[in-house]
Amino acid sequence: MSLMGQMMHMPLLISSLLTHAARHNGDTEIVSKRVEGDMHRTNWAEVDVRSRKLAQALKRLGCEPGDRIGTLAWNGYRHLEIYYAVSGSQLVCHTINPRLFPQQVAWIANDAQDKVIFVDINIFPLVEKLAPSLPALKHVVLMAGRESMPRETALTNLLCYEDLIDAEDGQYEWPSFDENTAASLCYTSGTTGNPKGALYSHRSSVLHAYAAALPDAMNVSARDVVLPVVPMFHVNAWGLPYSAALIGAKLVFPGHHLDGASLYNLFEQEGVTFSAGVPTIWLGLLNHVKSNNLKFSTFKSTVIGGAACPPAMIRTFENDYGVEVVHAWGMTELSPLGTLGRLKTKHANMTKEERQKVLEKQGKSVFGVDMRIVDADGKVLPWDGKTSGDLEVRGHWVIDSYFNIDKSPLHDGWFPTGDVATIDEDGYMQITDRSKDVIKSGGEWISSIDLENVLMAHPAVHEAAAIAAFHPKWDERPLIVVVKKPGAEVTKEELIAFYKGKIPTWQTPDDVVFVDEIPHTATGKIYKLKLREQFKDHKLPTA
């Protein structure tokens, strides 16, 4: 016989984030660099009104609770309105990455059975081409005013976004429903097999929004001007459209203008204090700032994730520009936040160099998500900063299963991330490899990332990929596939010798092969699966 608390019970709904922003920070700006090229200014109160009108329009179009509504769009205020209108009215907001191969986009839209797709004008040709292969698709909405509608199109079901909004009166109350209802859907990029959908709930998204804003996570407040460089089709821009509403921050959207000059100008014009994105984007921004001898006037802090951030980038940001860099790790299946590199009280008296070492790791977990490392038998491994194992996570915003797939991905109640990592005594996690890329030599693991990083520092090497090759005694031994820099000359023996003293001797690669090109995935990562197939019959000289 337990006793129930006597507290108000209201569901954790995404619409409540927008309602809060509109009521308490109504005039806080939402600024967008539009696909159309101009700047657009609105605020949380207007976004609320227009989102409610859009929810009315979706109902009028025949959408029913649970229907998936696709988006193919850049970061902008209309995409934000769609986020809230769709999830808020009990539909599912399904963001699609327009940079995928067209056949992948079609596969994903069909798997999700998207009933409506919202599309930005410069992505419209893709949808026009794919629409005939999307039988579930009832309506395509062009995210534009009437003046931007195409004069001619093969589509019979094309609608104008602003017309839809203008036709409604906004007399719409956000419905209340079970907080475990699906809110949004995002597919993994799927380097092996088909993409898989993560179906987030209202509850998981709101809890994630709380956690993401904490001082030990993104550390954002109503005093911040937040520019999400990370796309809204990439795990909901790491939840920033939700956290920004929760805290009442000003939002700045860059559209598809992600080059260094465009971003820098937007940062300066709008007083951006916080941003988040992947390393490659920051490389472009830093190059622009450096080559034009510029400074940031308001930019204070950025979270970098999506790929390991080179230590050199962290140092440049901090030492040359006074911008704090927070290294983060997450994934689509984690909404995405898992860990962030923030210090503890115990680090206060460390030297700068020692602190930097701590911060180069992927960080510690924020309350709401826990992690562990296990060996091949599922045995839990110690947190000593040395032992590496398969990284597993669980928590309020971790998936339980994939959309449309019956088989549970969980292991003993934990989600296996597919990453290999160490965790140290203080709970700081460091990714050492993807588990399918790790080279298993006689029961010991060799990190392919470590082997690649060594060779990437060799002056003659343009790109290097380390993969496992068959070995009759050790099962697997490392093989390095190298693309030389144009005009550079280097031998296999020289490269193998280059490893000396940089890694344990037994990890030294057994062979090096030179190729003209290394295959890449649509998201720019080395396509190791293809590479392994290509070299599956490779005979090692040590075999």
Q: Of these, 158, 246, 303, 358, which contacts a copy of itself (CB under 8 A)?
A: 246
User: Cβ closer to a copy of itself: 182 or 469?
Assistant: 182
User: Cβ closer to a copy of itself: 89 or 441?
Assistant: 89
Q: Which residues contact 263 (CB under 8 A, 6 or more apart)?
A: 227, 229, 254, 257, 281, 284, 285, 288
The least CB distance from residue 224 to a copy of itself, in Å, is 7
Contact 202, 181 (CB under 8 A): yes
DSSP string, 329-357: EE-GGGSSEEEE----GGGTTS-HHHHHH
Considering the candidates 81, 168, 270, 333, report the single residue annotated as catalytic: 333
**Cα angle 435, 439, 441; round to 5:** 130
Classified as helix, coil or strand, 198 is: strand
Considering the candidates 188, 191, 387, 523, report the single residue annotated as catalytic: 188
> What CA–CA distance (Å, rounded) separates 366 from 328?
11
Contact 173, 158 (CB under 8 A): no
Q: Residue type for 286, please?
A: L
User: Cβ closer to a copy of itself: 431 or 468?
Assistant: 431
The least CB distance from residue 102 to a copy of itself, in Å, is 27
Considering only residues 340-359, where is the footprint of a copy of itself by CB under 8 A?
A: 342-348
Considering only residues 268-327, where is the footprint of a copy of itself by CB under 8 A?
A: 271
Considering only residues 385-444, where is the footprint of a copy of itself by CB under 8 A?
A: 394-403, 415, 425-427
Q: Of these, 364, 471, 477, 484, which contacts a copy of itself (CB under 8 A)?
A: 364
Q: Which residues contact 173 (CB under 8 A, 6 or more apart)?
A: none
> What CA–CA distance (Å, rounded) separates 35 from 32?
9
> What CA–CA distance (Å, rounded) separates 336 from 252?
21
> What CA–CA distance (Å, rounded) separates 9 from 148?
45
Considering the candidates 138, 300, 436, 440, report the single residue annotated as catalytic: 440
Considering only residues 127-186, where is the footprint of a copy of itself by CB under 8 A?
A: 177-178, 180-183
The least CB distance from residue 407 to a copy of itself, in Å, is 12
> What CA–CA distance (Å, rounded) separates 517 from 514?
9
The least CB distance from residue 113 to a copy of itself, in Å, is 11
The least CB distance from residue 399 to a copy of itself, in Å, is 6
Site string for a copy of itself, 207-236 (x = CB under 8 A): x--xx-xxxx--xxxxxxx-----------
Q: Of these, 15, 25, 75, 388, which contacts a copy of itself (CB under 8 A)?
A: 25
User: Cβ closer to a copy of itself: 369 or 526?
Assistant: 369
User: Cβ closer to a copy of itself: 250 or 327?
Assistant: 250
> What CA–CA distance (Å, rounded) separates 329 from 327?
7
User: Cβ closer to a copy of itself: 14 or 531?
Assistant: 14
Considering only residues 476-535, where is the footprint of a copy of itself by CB under 8 A?
A: none
Which DSSP category does 363 fall into? B
Considering only residues 69-98, where is the footprint of a copy of itself by CB under 8 A?
A: 90, 92
The reply to whether 316 belongs to the active site is no
Peptide bond into 336 cis (omega under 30): yes
The least CB distance from residue 168 to a copy of itself, in Å, is 22
| CA 488 to chain CA centroid, nearest Å | 36
> What CA–CA distance (Å, rounded) separates 52 from 168?
9
Q: Of these, 42, 204, 275, 435, which contacts a copy of itself (CB under 8 A)?
A: 204
Q: Which residue has the tokens 């308001």?
A: 298
User: Cβ closer to a copy of itself: 5 or 37?
Assistant: 5
Choose the binding region for a copy of itself from 114-122, 246-254, 437-445, 470-478 (rule: CB under 8 A).
246-254
User: Cβ closer to a copy of itself: 214 or 307?
Assistant: 214
Query: At residue 75, what are phi and psi to the nearest 5 degrees?
Result: -80, 115
Q: Of these, 249, 252, 281, 439, which contacts a copy of itself (CB under 8 A)?
A: 249
The least CB distance from residue 55 to a copy of itself, in Å, is 15
Classified as helix, coil or strand, 109 is: helix
Contact 513, 540 (CB under 8 A): no
Considering the candidates 445, 474, 508, 528, report the single residue annotated as catalytic: 445
The reply to whether 188 belongs to the active site is yes
- Residue 17 engages a copy of itself in binding (rule: CB under 8 A): yes
> What CA–CA distance (Å, rounded) separates 97 from 235?
10
User: Cβ closer to a copy of itself: 347 or 525?
Assistant: 347
User: Cβ closer to a copy of itself: 199 or 512?
Assistant: 199
> What CA–CA distance (Å, rounded) separates 376 from 497?
32
Classified as helix, coil or strand, 479 is: strand
Choose the binding region for a copy of itself from 22-30, 131-139, 279-287, 458-466 (rule: CB under 8 A).
22-30
> Six-digit token pair at 476?
């697997």
The least CB distance from residue 383 to a copy of itself, in Å, is 9
> Six-digit token pair at 15?
């619409």
Contact 314, 360 (CB under 8 A): yes
Point out the residues that are catalytic.
Answer: 188, 333, 440, 445
